Structure 1
Amino acid sequence: MIVNCMGYGAKAIWGDDSLVPVRGQIAWLVPQPEARYALWFDQVQAISRRDGLIVQYLGPNDDWGYDNADESPDRAESERALATLRELYS
């Protein structure tokens, strides 16, 4: 099995207009080159990359909503993920 997460490009690549993305939220923080780690805590992941630190809530997919075409950033979801990570470090 090969899994390639193409996001919104999947419709065009596969030629299948019935594909519906699951909305998720990724918060990008400034790059921290000295940070070389990833962590998972209480349904939140943080992954350090060269181009920034990714913080994402990974709770049940039902929280994100299938068939949700709204691509607007959800600041509250990002803040909730960051608050969860603060719990880890407090």
Structure 2
Amino acid sequence: MGWDNWHLHRFKLWGKEYGIPYAGGISFADDARRVHLGDFPWRANDKFTYTYDFGDYWLHQVRVEQVLPPTALSAHPVCVSGRRACPPEEVGGPEGYN
């Protein structure tokens, strides 16, 4: 994305939230550092959300377009493209990026 990971974030996959817990702050049932996208049985058109910066609330929907068999070159999920440029960090959320 081009952001510097300054803010809290979470992934929501199949009704369950995953994130990185912080002492004295937000907690999650599972630590996102121990769960990998490749751990899930993805099918084409499956979707999940990624929320970054709970104050600015950047909400992204990620859709699986195709599931390829594993190869020696790619041992993990790969993002092959994306639309539009990433907004700058601290721009104020979607409203500040208009």
TM-score if structure 1 supplies the norm length? Answer: 0.26
TM-score if structure 2 supplies the norm length? Answer: 0.25
